[in-house]
Amino acid sequence: MIQQTTAMREYNEEELKTDKAINFGRAYQQCAISVLDTIADPDISFDENGVSNYYFEYLKAERTQVFKGAQGEQRLQELVEKVKISGKGKPYDCILGLSGGADSTYLALLAKQVGLRPLLVHFDYGWNSEIAVHNIEQAVKNTGFDLYTYVMDWPEFRDILRAYFRASVLDLDVPADHMIFGALYEVANKYGVRHLLSGNNVQTEFTLPRSWNYNKFDIVNLRNIHGQFGTQKLKNFPALGLWHFAYFQLIKRINSVQILNFVDYNKEFVKQAITKELGWRDYGGKHHESVFTRFYQGYILPVKFHIDKRKAHLSNLIFSGQLTKEEALREIRKPTYDLKLQKEDMAYVAKKLDFTLPEFKAVLSLPNRDHIEYGTDRKQRELYFRILKFIQPATRVIKKMR
């Protein structure tokens, strides 16, 4: 349950530690291994040694999903061969979403090294930083891959974002994330490509408390929020609800593949490699290649919802052995990002979304509301899984007959 508030207050870690409501009635506690704690996280638990559940969840994911060394090389080679075969005779054998961030840029470099022929797809929804634009241009130039830019209808997208702010829900990244993946599947379908290369990976971004985001593909929730607070019809947005997924994945057989789990994915090594090979420039915090996401994660989440996402990102690096807890604690003690830039972003985001600054601050101070108050696709999902149970045995038979 999201904490209710009637007025925003600046993020004060020490003050939040003593607030029983924000710690869900518990005394403050931090994980013995990581920097995750009880602040704004109802789901965190600890064993007798003070180690949080997230550490054990990470270990399980690493054990079952990450393959390094010779085993990783073999799995990567097998997957690459599968992608190449599926793309034979086509201009591209896979689709690769490129944001200008470290993960997607390294994915492009790795694709070039293993001989894949991706179509780079950039979703332009109006929030690219100058560094992100530079990184995209450099990646295209130095890999030689083609670039497809999917430009979102800005008035329409702005109307959706304004609706989400008025709804006062936590996950303001839902509209962008939903449509980015919708665009990727649309482009893959357009070019007859069956594989989407994903930059997701266990070693740097598996860990995230469940209550810190919302289902990106709950189209019922998205449409209801926009229906209640939006002002114009949605005609051009690339929808990717449950039944869209079913069509693309079951009928068109387009699937996402996470090849970064087949390499030793070290964040610092990756940054050095893409800087040297592709002329990449660092933009600061995680996902700060987007001005909106920088402001959302660096200001709105900590100030309005008391959530500092750096705790999850840094803890993930601790779990994978890329950072010490002491290093993470030093990072957490710093501001989420430059305070002067936060003020500039506040004014920029307000203006771009067509709010006056007083209107924007008033909207940000509305009581927090849970996404589920606006309805969910739960019934659709229950129906979908019943259908899957019915068709999966038949699918296995068909595969055996081929």
pLDDT digits (tens, 9 = 90+) for 336-348: 999 999 999 999 9
Q: Is pLDDT larger for residue 281 or for residue 398?
A: 281
Give the domain ranges of the chain: 13-383
> How does residue 149 score in pLDDT terms, banded at 50, 70 and 90?
very high
Distance CA 183, CA 179 (A): 6
Lowest mean pLDDT, pick from 61-65, 164-168, 230-234, 389-393:
389-393
Share of the chain above pLDDT 70, in %: 94
pLDDT exceeds cutoff 80 at 390: no
Lowest mean pLDDT, pick from 5-9, 80-84, 281-285, 312-316:
5-9
Q: Is pLDDT larger for residue 310 or for residue 387?
A: 310
> How does residue 400 score in pLDDT terms, banded at 50, 70 and 90?
very low
pLDDT exceeds cutoff 90 at 387: no
The dihedrals phi and psi of 52, each to the nearest 5 degrees, come to -80, 160
**Cβ neighbours of residue 377 closer than 8 Å, sequence gap 6 or more:** 215, 218, 219, 220, 221, 241, 242
Lowest mean pLDDT, pick from 133-147, 224-238, 257-271, 280-294:
280-294
Lowest mean pLDDT, pick from 146-155, 281-290, 291-300, 361-370:
281-290
Distance CA 114, CA 10 (A): 47
pLDDT exceeds cutoff 50 at 3: no
> How does residue 388 score in pLDDT terms, banded at 50, 70 and 90?
confident
pLDDT exceeds cutoff 60 at 397: no
pLDDT exceeds cutoff 80 at 358: yes
Distance CA 142, CA 135 (A): 10
> How does residue 360 score in pLDDT terms, banded at 50, 70 and 90?
very high
**By CB neighbour count within 10 A (0-12 exposed, 13-18 middle, 19+ buried), where does 121 fall?**
buried
Please report the pLDDT score of residue 118 as a whole number. Answer: 98
> How does residue 288 score in pLDDT terms, banded at 50, 70 and 90?
low
pLDDT exceeds cutoff 70 at 8: no
Task: Answer whether 176's CB lies under 8 Å from 292's CB.
Answer: yes
pLDDT exceeds cutoff 90 at 289: no
Please report the pLDDT score of residue 398 as a whole number. Answer: 35
pLDDT exceeds cutoff 60 at 249: yes
Mean pLDDT of all residues in the chain? 92
Please report the pLDDT score of residue 286 as a whole number. Answer: 63
pLDDT exceeds cutoff 70 at 401: no
Residue type (1 letter), 205: E
CA distance between the termini of the chain: 49
State how far Cα 260 lies from the chain centre: 15
- Among residues 245, 282, 241, 293, the alpha carbon closest in space to that of 125 is found at 293
> How does residue 2 score in pLDDT terms, banded at 50, 70 and 90?
very low
**Cβ neighbours of residue 308 closer than 8 Å, sequence gap 6 or more:** 11, 13, 39, 301, 302, 332, 336
Alpha helix segments (H runs only) across 209-266: 219-229, 242-246
Task: Answer whether 257's CB lies under 8 Å from 197's CB.
Answer: yes
DSSP code, position 296 = I
Query: Per this entry, what is the length of the chain?
Result: 402
Give, for 96, the enclosing helix (H) or strand (E). Answer: strand 94-97
pLDDT exceeds cutoff 60 at 1: no
pLDDT tens sequence across 10-52: 678 888 999 989 999 999 999 999 999 999 999 999 999 999 9
Please report the pLDDT score of residue 182 as a whole number. Answer: 96
pTM: 0.91
pLDDT exceeds cutoff 50 at 74: yes
